[in-house]
Structure 1
């Protein structure tokens, strides 16, 4: 019987050949057929490194970066929001001036990366831009601002960063500032400051999506109440997965969904961060990796990987991550979940160490019974819906 089946198959192939037809190639895997975006990419801190190129492939064993163009292709990450991150400093005129200079430089570095790789990546300002670039076969580069501290007390600077391409911004980072209370600091304003409330109004006027990651619960509540348009959490985890103030509780996720927003699920704070003195020292150096010589960069990576062997930074793995993702979908619904793992900013877990692992997430979502359309909503549709909703 097996021989008959083989002969029949050969006859069918021969008939196709005689007719000039080629056997149909199987469709590409589901993950590669979708538009896949991440809302928080800290990779711009690498863009000024000596001897480092975003277009080159880097190895986790010898380099701390989790994102580059070749690995974006591996994981079918089509793009996302490249962050202008500014470390919180003093609330003084000098502090604001230094922060503004840093933020402008970081924005320029993102522009330079896009210009240097213009054949494969393009700048996006709108949801339509992202879809157009994707159809052209190009990667998508939005800009975001993590921490509005560089604005100082001059809200007119938001217009400057809007013109530079920023389409997502959060008021605060790991410490309170002039705009709001942070999730990881003691309350000062009990939410937004008076200037922070004006910041919300100006964000709405310009059409920049508000990012509530890093905001305290009270800050989140007030942003949700005041914003005329849906908001995002660009890189947050569920508090029910790990009780940490940086994470969002399920009740607030439901309220976010009711207002049309979306929570982009991160890989961070699914456990306490193992910030030992040795790790803290390396993190402090990592923030300034762009100022290091190639030799110093290599030594930092060597020490980091050696420390990884004896003390993991996070006590969670891919299985824990997917359990949280599925719970978040159950609570918020498929229209209000997205992804922002915090690549190059402390994200990544065992089993999902860099972006090449992203297809595994899609496979698990499919195995859990979610439709292709719902999975694509979570990878990009919900993000682009929120972007498009600003100002409408």
Structure 2
């Protein structure tokens, strides 16, 4: 008896068929902050078709452009309108609005390739028209300046998700990589989640503490996302999602959009970075005031301790683990390109996604599985969040006194 067609197909063919049917819906790309950092948001002469010429003496070339997004089979992209969490919150609010503006201008300058999307229907329409659906997500609650009114206005400007924190603990939410103050979310932080659900803005739990993840899941009435995170059981970085949270995702309906950042997906590389930082601190303590000596000795350490290489297989390992704990419906892709130095070997930029999907096909993922990971799970999450918001039509907005301190609420 002849083998079924699926058994005759190569992994590359299975991946190609999946990405043709459901192109990648990527959860996080930092092109907007590159526009701010490299060009001060002055982009009238910026060519987003091909950005390989953006390399300078101090910066590598950008990871993203229309050519490489197309090659990577990216059909929808969440553009991060991130601004530094070190900014004072009123300044962060203004800067976030500027990032929304520059993202909209980038989309408008490339109408043949990009199309603004504010809903799941918009995403479907853009993909059907051969354009990359372009959505905007805020990265860090510092962007709303402790104000639910600002949150609502950011939604009206087009932001469709918000990462509750970035690298800094806020007055209402603990970051994964800063000293905690609230044991997760305080009362105001929980109302932020409720209000986001009410208006239809996705709650993104990348960057928040484990306790804050659980608090958000306790109050969320719509699926959450992790826009760019891995599995902590595979790589122990605190930016990754612990099994205790993965176990709750099937009930919530949320997804982890697996990140490509090498230090988040390769444990050996994470440990190498920690060891190097420790060695640098040791040398600076021993040779204070002798920077040339520190540099020479650190170079010797580097030569003797080669940095491990992260691979596409590392990213696939995180996907395997999440599938084993939370199931195939809880997985997406969130590369973090242009927000990291480089991606895994073979996936250094946005063109590499087909290689990841071929690796997953080699591991036994079916075309239907791959379509869920690439796009369909994210589309389901958007539609469920939109449906919940529609069910709340007429519900009273959550209100707090203007200008109030949100620390210690509850």
TM-score tier after normalising by the smaller chain length: 0.7 to 0.9
Which of 372, 377, 384 pairs up with 1:377? 372
Which of 216, 219, 242 pairs up with 1:223? 216
- Which residue is equivalent to 2:101? 108
Task: Report deviation, 1:313.
Answer: 7.5
Retained in 2: the 8 A contact 1:55–1:70?
yes
- Which residue is equivalent to 2:407? none
How many aligned positions are there? Answer: 334
Task: Report deviation, 1:163.
Answer: 1.1
Q: Could you tell me the TM-score, scaled by structure 2's length?
A: 0.76
Retained in 2: the 8 A contact 1:176–1:182?
yes
Task: Report deviation, 1:206.
Answer: 0.7
- Which residue is equivalent to 1:16? none
Retained in 2: the 8 A contact 1:179–1:195?
yes
Which of 335, 339, 353 pairs up with 1:341? 335
User: How has the CA–CA distance of structure 1 residues 60 and 332 changed in structure 2, closer, same or farther, with 3 Å as cutoff?
Assistant: farther
Which of 83, 87, 98 pairs up with 1:86? 83
- Which residue is equivalent to 1:246? 239
Task: Report deviation, 1:325.
Answer: 1.8
Matches within 5 A, 1:119-198: 119-198=112-191
Task: Measure, in 2, the Cα distance between the counterparts of 1:314 and 1:262.
Answer: 29
Task: Report deviation, 1:46.
Answer: 2.4
- Which secondary structure state, in structure 2, belongs to the residue aligned with residue 29 of structure 1? helix
Residue 67 (1) aligns with residue 55 (2)? no
- Which secondary structure state, in structure 2, belongs to the residue aligned with residue 387 of structure 1? helix
Matches within 5 A, 1:256-267: 256-267=249-260
- Which residue is equivalent to 1:300? none
Matches within 5 A, 1:255-334: 255-268=248-261, 269-270=264-265, 271=267, 272=270, 274=273, 315-334=309-328
Instruction: Show structure 1 runs of 5+ residues with no match.
Output: 1-25, 281-305
- Which residue is equivalent to 2:284? none
- Which secondary structure state, in structure 1, belongs to the residue aligned with residue 78 of structure 2? strand
Task: Measure, in 1, the Cα distance between the counterparts of 2:124 and 2:156.
Answer: 21
Task: Measure, in 1, the Cα distance between the counterparts of 2:109 and 2:309.
Answer: 38
More deviation, 190-199/129-138: 190-199
Q: Could you tell me the TM-score, scaled by structure 1's length?
A: 0.79
Retained in 1: the 8 A contact 2:15–2:357?
no
Task: Measure, in 2, the Cα distance between the counterparts of 1:367 and 1:154.
Answer: 48
Retained in 2: the 8 A contact 1:121–1:141?
yes
- Which secondary structure state, in structure 2, belongs to the residue aligned with residue 215 of structure 1? coil
- Which residue is equivalent to 2:28? 40
| Rg comparison, structure with higher value | 1
Task: Measure, in 2, the Cα distance between the counterparts of 1:27 and 1:319.
Answer: 17
Residue 29 (1) aligns with residue 16 (2)? yes
- Which secondary structure state, in structure 1, belongs to the residue aligned with residue 90 of structure 2? helix
**In the TM superposition, what whole-angstrom CA distance separates every residue of 1:221-276 from its partner, at most 9, and x where no partner exists?**
00001011110011111111111221111231121122111111112312328386
User: How has the CA–CA distance of structure 1 residues 218 and 28 changed in structure 2, closer, same or farther, with 3 Å as cutoff?
Assistant: closer
**Aligned Cα root-mean-square deviation (Å):** 2.6
Task: Measure, in 1, the Cα distance between the counterparts of 2:306 and 2:46.
Answer: 26
- Which residue is equivalent to 2:6? none
- Which residue is equivalent to 1:364? 359
Task: Report deviation, 1:61.
Answer: 7.0
More deviation, 380-389/246-255: 246-255
Which of 378, 381, 390 pairs up with 1:386? 381
